[in-house]
Each structure stands twice: as structure tokens, then as C-alpha cells.
Amino acid sequence: MKMICIGRNYSEHARELNNPLPETPVFFMKPESAQLRNNMPFFYPAFSNDIQYEVELVLHISKVGKMIEPGFAHNYFDGIGVGIDFTARDLQQKAKEKGLPWEMAKAFDFSAPVSKFIPVSEFNDLNNIRFGLDLNGKRVQDGNSSDMIFNFASIISYVSRFITLKQNDYIFTGTPSGVGPVKIGDRLEASLEGRKMLLCNIK
């Protein structure tokens, strides 16, 4: 499996990192080895001094698809969860300044804690899904899918022009504003529609 991650999909977050708003989705990938499942702790890696959280809605891809039209995109995912796109912001900033790829900063081992998935059929309105992140019990990020620049259908359609989607792939759909650093001893809790879905202790 692979994880495709959308960057700059919430305008306030793009602004907080001084990035221009994209005209087409920006995406990058995390490999299978980036997965962190079952609320396992995240061990702070030695190569960074600025690991930051980004809470995101995550789509579970349900079947193979390529060149998917937006109107058919709903046939290609069957679950929605929350995940954290851990980012080594110091490495990413250096890469950005040099125009180099982001993989070192984004795709490293265990950089993607992901919750269980809720069946799509349990959501009333995919364009109005609330999610958020608490750091040590305090709300730091609040998101709603209504604020995405590119909605689920646009993302799936755009990405599948370049990359075949396969069953059990994940799509991270971008983070709202409020990203920030973690330190050893911190506790992150992500919620979806008011339900606690994901716990991640930083060790």
C-alpha cells in the first residue's frame, strides 16, 4: 500500500506557512513503512529538532482506479479516518529553500499514525465533516471538510491521472491551520465528528 498526501488544502494553513494557494492539488507520498497503527507511540527521531503535527482526514481506497472522473470518485473510497502527517519541519524548510523533494521530511518511518476507518455510509454529508487534534488535552487544530480547497472527489480525480490508486491505499487530505511542534512526553488525541479516534504519545 501507499499513502498519498495532499499539501496546502486549507487556505489558513497555507498562509500560516507562507505558501501560496495552489491552483491544482499539491501531493507527495509516504511509503507503507511510515504507518503507525493501533495507537502505538511515536519515537522522536534523532535527525530532526522540529517534528510537527498535522491532523488530517484520511480516505481508505476500496478498489483499483486510474483516470477517475470526479463524478465517480465516491465509488473508490469506503472509509474515512483521521491521521497525523508528522513532518520534520526543519528538514522540510531546508528542502523547500533548495527546491529539493520533501521525502526526508515527510516519508520517514512511523510518520503517519492513522485511526480506524468509519464507513462512508455513516456520514451524512462528506462536505461537512468535523475533525480536530488535542495536544496534552488542549485543542490545537479544528478542521472541517467544508474548508478544503479541493474536495475528496477533486483529489481522487487529480491524483489518479498520475498514479493508479489501489485497494488499501490511503489519501491524507490536508491539514487545517494550527500545526505546531511536539516534544517528548506530549500526548496527541485526534477526533472525528466528536469521537476520539486516535491517541499518539510522543516518546
Q: Give the footprint of Mg ion on this chain (CB under 5 A).
A: 54, 85, 175
- By beta-carbon proximity to Mg ion, the closer residue of 52 and 157 is 52
- By beta-carbon proximity to Mg ion, the closer residue of 92 and 175 is 175
Question: Which of these, 55, 51, 39, lies nearest to 132 by C-alpha position?
Answer: 55
CA dihedral (49, 55, 57, 58) in degrees, to 10, reads 30
- By beta-carbon proximity to Mg ion, the closer residue of 54 and 169 is 54
Residue 25 in grid coordinates: 492539488
- What is the residue whose three cell numbers read 479541493? 150
CB of 72 to Mg ion, least distance (A): 26
- By beta-carbon proximity to Mg ion, the closer residue of 26 and 120 is 26
- By beta-carbon proximity to Mg ion, the closer residue of 85 and 189 is 85
CB of 56 to Mg ion, least distance (A): 6
CB of 139 to Mg ion, least distance (A): 18
Which residue's CB atom is positioned nearest to Mg ion? 85
CB of 87 to Mg ion, least distance (A): 7
CA–CA separation, 196 and 112 (whole Å): 17
CB of 131 to Mg ion, least distance (A): 13
Residues 6+ apart with CB under 8 A from 122: none
Please tell me whether residue 69 adopts helix, strand or coil conformation.
Answer: coil
- Tell me if 83 sits within 8 A of 30, measured CB to CB: no
The DSSP code for 151 is -
